Structure 1
Amino acid sequence: MSLFWSTSSDSRYYNQETLTHLKAQWNSNIVRIPMAVENGGYVNNSQVEYGKVKAVIEGAISVGMYVIVDWHTERADLYVDEATKFFSNISKTYGSNPHIIYEIWNEPNRFVNWTMIKSYAQQVIPAIRANDPNNIIIVGTPIFSQLVNEAADDPLSFPNIAYTLHYYAGSHKQELRDIATYAINKSLPIFVTEYGVVNYTENGPIYPYESKIWWNFLDENKISYVNWAVSNNDPTWNPFNTGAGAFVENTTPEQVGYPSRWSISGKFVNAKYQNYDQGFKGYPTYAYNNSCAVLNQNSGSWTNQDCGAVLTDSTCYICGLGL
């Protein structure tokens, strides 16, 4: 699952409690951190934004999830020095952990071509590789990370590089899958770091049919995908709990695991994710009445497991997750 912009009110989910529930009740083994760059983001408030990212990284490592550190902008080429410094610090601090994944440019917009993206990547990637020679680095592609075919025709020469593909099921259909197929046939590694089951506006109803076609396509081609987003839907635009946000209005981190707090999109995505064996689904995950408790996915109620957790510790020795 992808978190929402770090500068938004949904940054309240940038904590280990949220991650614990995403792992246990959402069966998610990865979290994405879309750190804002402009408009009050890292460029203006580097210490504050870095602190938010740091909290999620350390929380993800603690609960055993992969974490994508995302430089969330459409014009990363304007911030080469800032990106180089940021990713140098992240890789120096956390690069020895295999759970770390770097996404160095979210969605290059229409004013950027592949030559510009490649030039930017050739400047930022060495700063990461100086500290972390192995972990995956994901590079954005033209037109909001859709034209992976252009990267396939002229890929970077660094090892362990993947390329971003983004889609929203209501807007992007067979034409984009054909572009992806072209890149796949040229052996380009693809990572869907952001997708939605609604349209590109992130509002309105879900598209179940197109979403399932996309999921099947990605599963068949062994492509990882991360849903947008761990956020509350705005009832002004989505009065019927529709939209890309996984939760209804005013959902707290504690309630991330409550089915009654999931939006239509959230319930649809959660049902899909329950089909995967990540090795941890169904573990007791929540401190309740001096023990761990497990969530009943149907009723939304917690059942005491009497597992013997010592609540003065930071984790349960049965499930290994933070309490």
Structure 2
Amino acid sequence: MKAIWAAAALAVMSLGLSGCASTLPDPGAAAPVAAAPVGSPVARHGALSIAGNRVVDASGQPVTLRGMSLFWSQWAPQYYTAQTVDWLAQDWKVTVVRAAIAAEGNDSALFHMERELAKASVVIEAAVANGIYVVVDWHAHRNHPEHAEYFLSEIARRYGHLPNLIYEPFNEPLREGVDWSRDVKPYHERMIAAIRAHDPDNLIIVGSPSWSQDVDIAAADPLAGENIGYTLHYYAATHKDGLRAKGDAALAAGLALMVTEFGIVEATGNGPIDRESSDAWWDWAEANGVSWMAWSIGDRDETSAALVPGAPVAGWREEHLTEGGRILRDRIRTANIADGY
């Protein structure tokens, strides 16, 4: 949830495209289709879809993706590189990477749309080269529909023909004053229409109020359409049985879930690592076939960061990883190698 970042962004948030850079980028050509490397996750599974409450591959078999989220793109831009994605795919054995494209604050896509689109493109194209999946996350806590619609439309127009792509149109809607049916659902309907104008079938994973925790409320009034799933965010030292019960309720109601962001620490992104709660969450996700992406590939001086301050963009040795980074690398490698990656 990283509530500290939400509070910091409040004073500088933008409300419309008039607050964007003076000109938005000209449309670029769609990216060419490239064959996924032999044996890679995308070569093995192809385009993903949703059947019932599960994510399945092109053969209809359930798929659980495991990987990492990059940190806010305006605060850790050095890791939005092909080298970082290559290292995560080849050394950490991730099957998915999440690009958290910042949509809060002055130094974000709200004011630097072309720059942030370029960062997303680097991550997408590196994921394609490695044959892994990529979640493109509009990393916002507040509703910026004009900006989000433009960004997501451009991503869909350029890359929607690729099987690697997964959309996350709203990272973490806030709790106070935010209602699923009144506020968040209509926003998602608008974003889904914008994406589907260019990309008819790739997964769209939507957020819910209370920092993407109200999946049970969304389940009572779900979105219409194909291949729409719901994200559930947790931080293990803060969120425990009560939030898993909300996830259970959503699954029982037929929603497909992904954990596109979680931490093994507190919801602030800091504090001690909670191994017991982290293991309980991992057991729950694996038992339910729920994909997961950990927060985060960044070098900020906090316990949720996988890298120590000043870590290089790739080639990380043990001394470049925090305690959390070592735990996450081991967990991802162990699970994905066991699945044959």
TM-score class normalised by the smaller sequence: 0.7 to 0.9
Q: Does 1:272 align with 2:339?
A: no
CA change 1:145–1:2 in 2 (3 A) is same
Give the CA deviation at 1:23: 1.0
- Equivalent residue number for residue 213 of structure 2: 146
- Structure 1 position 280, deviation (Å): 7.1
Amino acid across the alignment from 2:311: T
The residue number in structure 2 matching 1:11 is 77
Any idea what SS the aligned residue of 2:314 has?
Answer: helix
* Partner residue, 1:248: 308
Q: CA RMSD in A?
A: 1.3
- Number of positions where the alignment pairs a residue of Structure 1 with one of Structure 2: 270
Letter in 2 for 1:26: W
Partner of 2:320: 261
1:105 aligns with 2:181: no
Deviation (angstroms), 1:38 = 2.6
- Greater RCO, 1 or 2 (C-alpha within 8 Å, sep 6+): 2
Give the partner amino acid of 1:141.
S
Q: Distance in 2 between matches of 1:12 and 1:58?
A: 16
Partner of 1:208: 275
Partner residue of 1:49? 116
User: Using the alignment, how far apart are the partners of 1:108 and 1:31 within structure 2?
Assistant: 21
Change (3 A) 1:280 1:18: farther
Q: For the pair shown, which has the larger CA radius of gyration, 1 or 2?
A: 1
Q: Which amino acid aligns with 2:110?
A: V
Aligned to 2:48: none
**Structure 1 gap ranges (5+):** 282-323
* C-alpha distance in structure 1 between counterparts of 2:289 and 2:172, whole Å: 22
User: 1:204 offset after TM fit, Å?
Assistant: 2.1
Distance 1:71 1:277 in 2: 27
Distance 2:325 2:137 in 1: 22
Q: Percent of counterpart pairs with the same letter?
A: 38
What is the correspondence of 1:23-62 to structure 2 with a 5 Å cutoff? Answer: 23-39=89-105, 40-62=107-129
Q: Distance in 2 between matches of 1:83 and 1:271?
A: 35
1:87-133 Cα deviation digits (max 9, x unpaired): 11111110000100000000000231102110001111111111111
Q: Is the 8 A contact 2:232 2:259 kept in 1?
A: yes
Question: Structure 2 CA distance, aligned partners of 1:249 and 1:81?
Answer: 35
Q: Which runs of 5+ in 2 are unaligned?
A: 1-67
Question: Which AA in structure 1 matches 2:99?
Answer: I
Q: Matches of 2:248 and 2:179 in 1, distance apart?
A: 21
Residue 20 of structure 1: CA displacement?
A: 1.1
Q: 1:56 to 1:266 in 2, by over 3 A?
A: same
Which amino acid in structure 1 is aligned with residue 91 of structure 2?
Q
CA 1:255–1:204: 2 relative to 1, 3 Å: farther
What CA distance in whole angstroms lies between the structure 2 residues aligned with 1:198 and 1:156? 31
Contact 1:246/1:267 (8 A) holds in 2: yes
